[in-house]
């Protein structure tokens, strides 16, 4: 189910990023404690009063060649408004209402979205009187906060979460594979979607999904039912997304959350750029099965080593997604397109695979016997027991004598041994360690 979205908007230097970091806490820091996952983030997740939500930070956007303050603020707010269910409009208690604040206010009124005004830099009781001016913006009661001291954040989240829409989502049967097509602008997502559906010619209907502007398209092939979650056709006025590449990530987030399998589309002509890693990283962090799709392969000059070289480049750039298979194709000519859905079927199956506990423990025991854990300051890790606790993605809990003795490299060794025995191709595999006594 896709999480609702709260966006933080406002002019530069009102403290948006500080509040963003306080809302998401250390979630991203924990998720990104793995090599190879990019740390340049504007999209995080938070939870308050039992509601999980995504948070957009519109701070730090750089528009090449544009220095005008109001132009920058306008673009930031447009992007967030399009994506968000609730807007947190941040203003500065010390500065009062500025021309830029009034510009954002007009845009927010036109949007019709629920808005909570957060008055930042209310760092002491004397500043409380400064919030009354902001009633004049017309969005109801402002909330006094201090990013520097962390005060008022709970009140702000109370107000924002209260305005979130009720939980709802398009639901499908368990045997339906939900496939999201993601990638930066101009990699050929639209062409790929059209090629898949054009070849199948068995579209049931187009159903508006809860992902804003996305279309859910159910279809069937060889007895397997799918839903294609298409973000490819999204085009905004002024090509804002094409000129602000960071925000193509936001186009993909809700689709990723709802998908079983994510197709990460890469332009074979242009090769890999950092933005590809941003987008793929979200699929990885959300625990989704993934397939790299190298599109426009027909337009690439190649010899018998070109495909291998490109595969090696993907492995070098996406070390954190070593498990994801690679499919080379051309959506335009439909060359090699027939290879895609069988791979989708396979990784979806692996994503939902559950390994019997006794087999899992046999593999772990053999791995430990072949390569015992290293010692740390005279103490050695002892692996007692393992069990798979969930699927999508497969998640394995390993009980040990002391979790702090589980070094990342040894955890990776155990993961590789598990993959060698049970495949798990195309899906992240999550391993967690817990002290043996914790299972009591």
Mean pLDDT of the chain: 81
Q: What percent of the chain has pLDDT over 70?
A: 80
Q: Is 194 annotated as a binding residue?
A: no
CATH number of 5-162: 3.40.50.300
CATH class of 177-351: alpha beta
Residue pair 217/228 in contact (Cβ under 8 Å)? The answer is yes
User: In this predicted structure, which of 5-19, 55-69, 351-365 has the lowest mean pLDDT?
Assistant: 55-69
Q: Is 202 annotated as a binding residue?
A: no
CA–CA distance, 310 with 6 (Å, rounded to integer): 38
**75 pLDDT band (50/70/90 cuts)?**
low
Stretch 296-322: mean pLDDT: 92
Q: Is 13 annotated as a binding residue?
A: yes
Task: Write down the pLDDT at residue 201.
Answer: 38
Q: Is 14 annotated as a binding residue?
A: yes
Across 34-138, the runs of DSSP E, i.e. the strands, are 43-48, 51-57, 86-92, 115-120
User: In this predicted structure, which of 20-34, 48-62, 279-293, 424-438 has the lowest mean pLDDT?
Assistant: 20-34
Q: Is 240 annotated as a binding residue?
A: no
357-439 CATH, one of 3.30.300.20, 2.102.10.10, 3.40.50.12780, 3.40.190.10: 3.30.300.20
Checking if the pLDDT of 50 tops 80, the result is: yes
Query: Measured between alpha carbons, how far is residue 250 from residues 162, 184, 278 in Å?
Result: 23, 10, 10
> Between 98 and 247, whose confidence is greater?
98
Q: Tokens for 181?
A: 């097509």
User: In this predicted structure, which of 70-74, 93-97, 350-354, 359-363 has the lowest mean pLDDT?
Assistant: 70-74
Q: Is 122 annotated as a binding residue?
A: yes
User: In this predicted structure, which of 53-62, 145-154, 194-203, 238-247 has the lowest mean pLDDT?
Assistant: 238-247
Stretch 273-287: mean pLDDT: 84
Residue pair 47/157 in contact (Cβ under 8 Å)? The answer is no
Tell me the per-residue pLDDT of 152-200, one tens digit each, with 9 for 90 and over. 999 999 999 999 987 655 678 889 999 999 887 778 887 888 888 875 4
Q: Is 233 annotated as a binding residue?
A: yes
Q: Is 355 annotated as a binding residue?
A: no
Q: Is 268 annotated as a binding residue?
A: no
Q: Is 40 annotated as a binding residue?
A: no
Checking if the pLDDT of 248 tops 80, the result is: no
CA–CA distance, 144 with 129 (Å, rounded to integer): 10
**291 pLDDT band (50/70/90 cuts)?**
very high
Q: Is 186 annotated as a binding residue?
A: yes
Q: Is 232 annotated as a binding residue?
A: yes
**59 pLDDT band (50/70/90 cuts)?**
low
Q: Is 325 annotated as a binding residue?
A: no
Stretch 224-230: mean pLDDT: 87
Q: Is 231 annotated as a binding residue?
A: yes
Checking if the pLDDT of 327 tops 90, the result is: yes
**230 pLDDT band (50/70/90 cuts)?**
low
Q: What are the residue boundaries of the structural domains of the chain, listed by start?
A: 5-162, 177-351, 357-439
Checking if the pLDDT of 299 tops 90, the result is: no
Q: Is 105 annotated as a binding residue?
A: no
CA–CA distance, 333 with 195 (Å, rounded to integer): 9
Stretch 345-363: mean pLDDT: 96
Tell me the per-residue pLDDT of 89-130, one tens digit each, with 9 for 90 and over. 999 999 999 888 888 888 889 888 999 999 999 988 878 888
Q: Is 10 annotated as a binding residue?
A: yes
Q: Is 33 annotated as a binding residue?
A: no
Q: Is 183 annotated as a binding residue?
A: yes
Task: Write down the pLDDT at residue 17.
Answer: 79
- One fold for 5-162 and 357-439: no
Q: Is 288 annotated as a binding residue?
A: no
**For 281, which DSSP code?**
H
Q: Is 15 annotated as a binding residue?
A: yes
Residue pair 119/87 in contact (Cβ under 8 Å)? The answer is no
Tell me the per-residue pLDDT of 374-433, one tens digit each, with 9 for 90 and over. 888 789 999 999 999 999 999 999 999 999 999 999 999 999 999 999 999 999 999 999
> Between 245 and 426, whose confidence is greater?
426
């Amino acid at each position: 189910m896709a999480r609702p979205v709260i966006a933080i908007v406002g002019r530069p230097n009102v403290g948006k990023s500080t509040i963003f970091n306080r809302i998401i806490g250390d979630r991203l820091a924990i998720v990104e404690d793995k090599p190879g996952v990019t740390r340049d983030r504007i999209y995080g997740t938070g939870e308050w009063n039992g509601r999980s939500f995504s948070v957009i930070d519109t701070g730090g956007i750089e528009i090449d060649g544009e220095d005008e303050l109001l132009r920058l603020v306008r673009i930031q707010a447009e992007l967030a408004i399009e994506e968000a269910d609730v807007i947190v409009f941040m203003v500065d208690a010390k500065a009062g209402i500025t021309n830029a604040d009034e510009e954002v206010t007009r845009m927010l009124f036109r949007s019709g979205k629920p808005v909570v005004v957060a008055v930042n830099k209310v760092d002491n009781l004397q500043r409380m009187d400064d919030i009354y001016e902001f009633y004049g913006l017309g969005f109801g009661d402002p909330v006094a906060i201090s990013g520097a001291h962390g005060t008022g954040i709970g009140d702000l989240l109370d107000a924002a979460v209260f305005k979130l829409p009720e939980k709802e989502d398009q639901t499908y049967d368990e045997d339906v594979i939900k496939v999201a097509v993601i990638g930066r602008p101009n990699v050929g997502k639209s062409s790929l979607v059209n090629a898949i559906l054009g070849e199948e010619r068995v579209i049931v209907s187009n159903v508006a999904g809860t992902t804003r502007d996305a279309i859910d398209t159910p279809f069937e092939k060889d007895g397997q039912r799918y839903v294609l979650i298409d973000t490819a056709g999204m085009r905004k006025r002024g090509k804002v997304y094409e000129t602000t590449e960071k925000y193509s990530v936001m186009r993909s987030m809700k689709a990723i959350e709802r998908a079983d399998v994510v197709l990460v589309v890469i332009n074979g002509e242009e090769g890999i750029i950092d933005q590809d890693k941003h987008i793929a990283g979200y699929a990885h962090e959300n625990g989704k099965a993934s397939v790299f799709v190298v599109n426009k392969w027909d337009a690439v000059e190649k010899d018998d080593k070109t495909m291998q070289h490109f595969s090696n480049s993907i492995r070098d750039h996406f070390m954190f997604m070593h498990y994801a298979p690679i499919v080379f194709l051309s959506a335009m000519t439909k060359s090699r397109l027939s290879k895609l859905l069988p791979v989708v079927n396979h990784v979806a199956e692996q994503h939902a695979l559950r390994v019997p506990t006794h087999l899992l423990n046999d593999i772990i025991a053999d791995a430990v016997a072949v390569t015992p854990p290293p010692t740390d300051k005279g103490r050695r890790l002892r692996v007692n027991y393992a069990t798979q606790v969930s699927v999508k993605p497969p998640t394995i809990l390993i009980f040990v004598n002391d979790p702090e003795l589980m070094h990342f490299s040894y955890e990776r060794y155990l993961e590789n041994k598990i993959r060698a025995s049970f495949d798990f191709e195309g899906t992240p595999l999550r391993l967690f360690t817990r002290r043996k006594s914790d299972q009591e």
